[in-house]
Amino acid sequence: LAVRLMIACCEEKSAIDEPGLLCLCDELSLYFQIRDDYINLCSSSYASKKGWAEDVEEGKFNYAVVHHCRSGADAAGDRLRNILRQRTDDVELKKYAVRIMRESGSLKATRDKMEEVRVRVDERIAALGGNGRLAGLLERLDGQV
Quick: pLDDT tens for 70-86.
887 666 568 899 999 99
* Residue with the larger pLDDT of the pair 55 and 47: 55
Burial class (CB in 10 A: 0-12, 13-18, 19+), 34: buried
pLDDT over 80 at 108, yes or no: yes
Cβ-contact 135, 122 below 8 angstroms:
yes
d(CA 48, CA 46): 5
Question: What is the pLDDT at residue 74?
Answer: 63
Spatial contact of 41 and 54, defined as CB atoms under 8 Å apart? no
Q: What mean pLDDT do residues 4-26 have?
A: 75
Position with higher pLDDT, 20 vs 120: 120
